[in-house]
Amino acid sequence: MMSSIRSRTPPELAPALCLALAALSACSRPAAPLAASPDREWPFYGGDAGGQRFSSADQITPANVRDLKPVWRFSTGAASIRADALRHAAFEDTPIMAGGRVYVCSPFNAVFALDPATGRALWSYDPRIDPTVRYPNEDVCRGVAYWRDPAPAPGAPCAERLFTNTNDRRLIALDAATGRACPGFGQGGTVDVGRGLVLQRPGQMQITSPPVVARGVVIVGSSIDDNQRVSEISGAVRAYDARTGAPKWSFDPLASARPAITAGAANVWAPMSTDEARGLVFLPTTSPSPDFWGGLRQGDDGDADSVVALNIETGAKVWAFKTVHHDVWDYDNPAQPTLAMVAWRGVARPAVLQPTKQGLLFTLNRDTGAPVIPVEERPVPQGGAPGETLSPTQPFPTAPRPLAPSVIRPQDAFGLGPWERDQCRRKIAAARHEGLFTPPSLQGTILYPFTGGGVNWGGLAFDAGRQVAYVNTSSAMHLVTLIPAARVRAARAAEPDVEISPQTGAPFGMRREVMRSGLGLPCNPPPWGQLHAVDMRTGRILWEVPLGTTEDLAPGSQFLLRGAGAPNFGGPMTTASGLVFIGAAMDNYLRAFDGATGRQVWRGRLPAGGQATPMTYVWLGRQYVLIAAGGHAKSGTKRGDQIVAFALPGTPPAYRPLR
């Protein structure tokens, strides 16, 4: 720690240095003995099958979290084996812990089993994806799925198995004990999810989120390249027998709208959730193709941009609730639907919580899809591009209020000085903007929040006992400009470093960029990243605080931009002791907040960006908190390949491992 203190300390750092030295002194005192704690797993990507990201572990508390320290690190080897490819990767993995092992995947889909106490590798498996293929959503593996066969054949391998998806569209079943491919699943342990699809290029379709498995069925979504064409490939969700890999069913969210529309995708790229008792799987579906012009898909786009509940065993639709009508903003559902008992106005109901890129939080009845917290259809801006027919209204939950701002005026422009503010003011004044859901235009339209959120794939964490949802949001603006199709090629040649997509088959291509000042700062006022606590009994926001700093993007800037927060990718995790852990921000820290007050009570330095969601477990009586520290290509954060485990010092009384 001392080696990180520079020999020349600016005057403004003096208070921070004093605090650091005080912390060093505090660390030298003997640690209090750890209280006994029974072992607890984290067997699903979201902690449980419903994605609550809650742990009953309570050894680490607001009172002792300041003593949390790194106790082990594990490197996937990606930084040395595929150093060049790492520039196009995002280490978004949330490890799981089940059956006495921690399971991790690298952005290139290598899978590792680790000793929970030491991080020592027990086995590894590499599917050997092609590192030269460039995927539009980077090389990503957000996690794996664990399944214990309730009726395995005597002596057969794979009684416990891991399912992992790959960027190159494979579903692989591994023996959780050995890491060997399960011989009875598909072809030598592998199912080709993309079989039969005709792709325009290898990276057009990939799989970035973990599968889900329940009732002997494993279910897989996909991520499909945005903005490329009207006649995109289908975004169908596919299900397979968890023992044999035989296809069970597929569900196309646009099937109910065909043949009246010409479109594809509406895929499910975010994680899904399951309710095994009800026999339901919950899908967060996305926008149909192309994203920013819908003249050839008149109407409401079927079950795109919806939360959809399907029968796990048959794929039959049970219900669907639409979060966006006729989407031309890329406001798809980016996060895992969270299943919880919500006591809205004192009455507990089984619910689905769906946060959105718009910063909205929908709360739906789990059995019917009807809103638990009322939803209103409100008028939204009209006057779309030629050939477009917009929905006159969009759905808004009455509570909580939107978690991200959506209206900006030229006089609201942000800048560190008059020149910067004026630059942003002119950009805002030149664009079309009438609030949320202003349609894309040839003039250029401000999308606020930008298509990265509001909320993104990190989702939320829910404490059922306290009835509090913890949600992190980003705040930035996109300028989306439609380009006549005949001019797209010239536009791309003139601006090769700007995102310009053809939307082939539509009369318009599109140009999209984050609205920044000359110094690269967002043109909208901060905070640019926040963490919120929402009381789900009343819909009231209990607190919201800035999340993250610009420290690692521009050293020293955090003092000029104190309290500004930072855009973030990843989600929160909460524990029974009342702590909320989160990385996500565009700096190299894992943080802990007091869930009751929003006060930051600890932060731990990471070797690279922590744009991932942390998890926790208790093993042999000791609680660990883990996060992937590997950075994110689109965030520009420091790249790496390590899983970092934190724990309190001391040796607790050991409990027998869970089995």
Q: Which residues are catalytic?
A: 330
Question: For residues 77 and 641, is the Cβ–Cβ distance under 8 A?
Answer: yes
Whole-angstrom distance, CA of residue 515 vs CA of residue 513: 6
Q: Are 264 and 289 in contact (CB under 8 A)?
A: yes
Distance CA 143, CA 95 (A): 6
Amino acid at 646: F
Cβ–Cβ < 8 Å for 467, 425: no
Neighbours of 21 (CB within 10 A): 13
DSSP string, 534-601: EETTTTEEEEEEE---STTTSTTHHHHTTT----B-S-EEEETTSEEEE--BSSSEEEEEETTT--EE
Omega prior to 527 cis, within 30 of 0: yes
In the chain, the largest separation of any two C-alpha atoms, in whole Å, equals: 75
DSSP sequence for 88-143: GEE-----EEETTEEEEE-TT--EEEE-TTT--EEEEE-----TTPPPTT-EE---
DSSP 441: B
Using left for φ > 0, alpha for ψ between -120 and 50, and beta otherwise, residue 406 falls in alpha
For residues 449 and 356, give the distance between their C-alpha atoms in angstroms, rounded to a whole number. 10
- Quick one: DSSP state of residue 421? H
CA-CA distance, 435 to 385, in Å (whole number)? 17
Taking Cα atoms as reference points, which of 562, 583, 589, 576 lies closest to residue 623?
A: 576
* Cα Rg, the chain, nearest whole Å: 24
Q: Please tell me the distance from the alpha carbon of residue 526 to that of residue 431, in angstroms, as a whole number.
A: 20
H or E element, residue 427 = helix 418-430
How many CB atoms within 10 Å of residue 492? Answer: 17
Q: Residue 172 to residues 64, 91, 198, 628: CA-CA distances in angstroms?
A: 41, 20, 21, 22
**DSSP state string for 553-567:** TSTTHHHHTTT----
Phi, psi (degrees; rounded to nearest 5) at 640 = -170, -165
Measured between alpha carbons, how far is 56 from 574 in angstroms, rounded to an integer? Answer: 9
